[in-house]
Amino acid sequence: MESFELAARIARLLDKKKAQDVKVLKVRDLTILTDYFVIASGTSTTQVKSLAEEVEFQLEQEGIRPLRTEGYDSKNWILLDFGEVIVHVFYPQVREFYDLEHLWADADPVEIDLGGEE
């Protein structure tokens, strides 16, 4: 799966599970770490964990597993590293504090049709 397709798939999965403020940033030209960030918020630590688990579960059904995960213990900021796509699922106040969208302001925001096919 191409990195853009993976980022779009993840954004749609998060949106379907009622994630808030789902954003996709193209960072390919700014870093060698990854091609895209997918950033979303959950309304509670329980939802943050549930959103991250759903992304992992659905992609695992397709044979796609993260290279690493972080943050499941705190459930305030869970990171799923799929190599070409890094997913950040935040508790709202933590997202506001770290403000990745501002930190990566030079990244290109990508419009994703969240109502599209999964």
pTM over 0.85: yes
Q: What is the rounded distance in angstroms from the CA atom of residue 66 to the CA atom of residue 29?
A: 22
Q: Which amino acid is at 11?
A: A
String of DSSP letters for 64-114:
---SEEE-TTT-SEEEEE-SSEEEEEE-HHHHHHH-HHHHTTTSEEE---T
One-letter amino acid identity for 22?
Answer: V
**d(C-alpha 111, C-alpha 12), whole Å:** 12
- pLDDT given for residue 88 in this prediction: 98
Contacts with 115 (C-beta within 8 Å, 6 or more apart), sequence order: none
Map out the domains of the chain as residue ranges.
3-110
pLDDT, tens digit only, all 118 positions of the chain: 799 999 999 999 999 999 999 999 999 999 999 999 999 999 999 999 999 999 999 999 999 999 999 999 999 999 999 999 999 999 999 999 999 999 999 999 999 888 755 4
3-state SS class at 20? strand
| Nearest alpha carbon to residue 90 among 7, 27, 14 | 14
Q: What is the CATH number of domain 3-110?
A: 3.30.460.10
CA angle 90, 72, 30 (to 5 degrees): 50
